[in-house]
Amino acid sequence: MNPKQRKKLKKMIKTRQKAQPSGYIQQLTTYATLFDDFPSVKYLINNVIESDRLLKNGLLPQPLPKLLLPDDIQDTIFQFVNHKYPAGDPQGDQLWNQYTAALPEVDRLLRNYREYLETTYGMWAYISAPVISDLAHYINHAPVLEVMAGNGYISKGLRNLSQTQTIYTTDSQSWTAENETGKHPVTTIEPLDALAALRKYGDQVQFVIMSWAPDKQTTDWELLQMIRADYPDITLITLGEQNGATNSHEFWENAQFIDPEATQRLNRNFAPFDLVNEHLFLVK
Ordered by start, the domain boundaries in the chain are 18-121, 129-283
- The mean pLDDT value for 9-13 works out to 47
CA 56 to centroid of chain Cα atoms: 16
pLDDT in tens, 73-117: 999 999 999 999 888 889 989 999 999 999 999 999 999 999 999
Residues 6+ apart with CB under 8 A from 89: none
**Rounded to an integer, what distance in angstroms lies between the CA atom of residue 187 and that of residue 38?**
40
pTM: 0.86
Tell me the C-alpha distance between 276 and 242, whole Å: 10
What pLDDT digit, counting tens, does each position of 26-50 carry?
A: 999 999 999 999 999 999 999 999 9
> Cα separation of 34 and 45, whole Å?
11
Best CA proximity match to 102, nearest among 38, 53, 9: 38
CA atoms of 206 and 31, how far apart (whole Å): 47
Mean pLDDT of the chain: 90
Nearest-angstrom CA–CA distance, 156 and 162: 10
Residue-wise pLDDT for 15-24, tens only, equals 434 444 569 9
pLDDT tens, residue by residue, 176-212: 555 555 567 999 999 999 999 999 999 999 999 999 9
CA max distance for the chain: 76
Residue 209's Cβ-count burial label (10 Å; 0-12, 13-18, 19+) is buried
Q: Does the structure show a pLDDT above 60 at 11?
A: no
Residues present in the chain in total: 284
Smallest Cα–Cα separation from 9: which of 157, 112, 143? 112
Strands 190-191 and 207-211: unpaired
Selected from 1.20.1250.20, 3.40.50.150, 2.40.40.20, 3.40.710.10, the CATH number assigned to the domain covering 129-283 reads 3.40.50.150
Tell me the percentage of the chain whose pLDDT exceeds 70: 89
Beta carbons within 10 angstroms of residue 274's beta carbon: 20
The pLDDT tens digits for 222-239 are: 999 999 999 999 999 999
3-state secondary structure the chain: CCHHHHHHHHHHHHCCCCCCCCCHHHHHHHHHHHCCCCHHHHHHHHHHHHHHHHHHCCCCCCCCCCCCCCCCHHHHHHHHHHHHCCCCCHHHHHHHHHHHHHHHHHHHHHHCHHHHHHHHHCCCCCCCHHHHHHHHHHHCCCCEEEECCCCCHHHHHHHHHCCCCCEEEEECCCCCCCCCCCCCCCCCCEECCHHHHHHHHHHHCCEEEEECCCCCCCHHHHHHHHHHHHCCCCEEEEEECCCCCCCCHHHHHHCCECCHHHHHHHCCCCCCCCCCCCEEEEEC
